[in-house]
Amino acid sequence: MNFLEERILRDATVCPGDILNVNAFLHHQIDMKLIDQIAQEMYGRFRDKPINKILTIEVSGISIACAVARLFNVPLVYAKKTRTKYQPKDVYEAEVLSFRHKNINTIVVGKEYLTSDDHVLIVDDIMADGYALQGLISIVEDAEASVEGCAIAIEKGFQEGGDRIRNLGYTVESLVTIDGMEPHSGTIVFRPE
């Protein structure tokens, strides 16, 4: 059992609707030692790739993506869900269905922050249906940049996002894959590494 699986068993809770509540260490309160451990593991898996940019999506991906960007010593760009007055006018955008919030967001990245010279590692905290990840991939493709891979902390392996994106030919590395969760008993079943 790896460090993140241990932490999930200790401090996460399973809520109805296939929700894994990680508010205690990742989504509301953040344990930076854990974040740095996650980032180190992601760095180890992709350090041989020519990565010059990290891409994530607000909000909960930012803490991990910052720590990964520090290790690669490259800029981090985060896709925005809301368009405000002073955001870039020229953007790449994608429609993303949120599993957690049950709504559709248009996510945007300013064109000046993603170009055809970029070799991008996409980082996110949790992958369920994979729509956020797929939106980020489509933005990288629109920019004619290269997707060097996707690093995910927690993949819900019983939902179909991971399989769908791997079948498209992308490298997706998850530190933890959950094969099943049960809210009444609180049981969480991890896929063996």
| Binding footprint of its own copies on the chain (CB under 8 A) | 15, 17, 19, 21, 23-24, 28-33, 35-36, 58-59, 62-63, 66-67, 69-70, 73, 75-78, 80, 82, 84-88, 100-101, 109-110, 112-113
Q: Please, which residue, 59 or 168, has the CB nearer to its own copies? A: 59
Other CB atoms closer than 10 Å to residue 104's CB: what's the count?
A: 10
Other CB atoms closer than 10 Å to residue 175's CB: what's the count?
A: 20
Q: Please, which residue, 65 or 165, has the CB nearer to its own copies? A: 65
Residue type at position 122: I
Other CB atoms closer than 10 Å to residue 173's CB: what's the count?
A: 15
Task: Quote the least distance from Cβ 53 to its own copies, whole Å.
Answer: 9
Task: Quote the least distance from Cβ 148 to its own copies, whole Å.
Answer: 18
Q: Please, which residue, 123 or 165, has the CB nearer to its own copies? A: 123
Task: Quote the least distance from Cβ 141 to its own copies, whole Å.
Answer: 19
Q: Please, which residue, 45 or 70, has the CB nearer to its own copies? A: 70
Other CB atoms closer than 10 Å to residue 162's CB: what's the count?
A: 22
Q: Please tell me the number of Cα atoms within 13 Å of 55 on its side-chain side.
A: 33
Whether cis (ω within 30° of 0) applies to the bond prior to 59 is yes
Task: Quote the least distance from Cβ 67 to its own copies, whole Å.
Answer: 7
Task: Quote the least distance from Cβ 24 to its own copies, whole Å.
Answer: 8
Q: Please, which residue, 118 or 148, has the CB nearer to its own copies? A: 118
> Residue 13 and residue 19: Cα distance in Å, rounded?
8
Burial 3-17 (b: 16+ CB within 10 A, else e): ebbebbeebbebeee
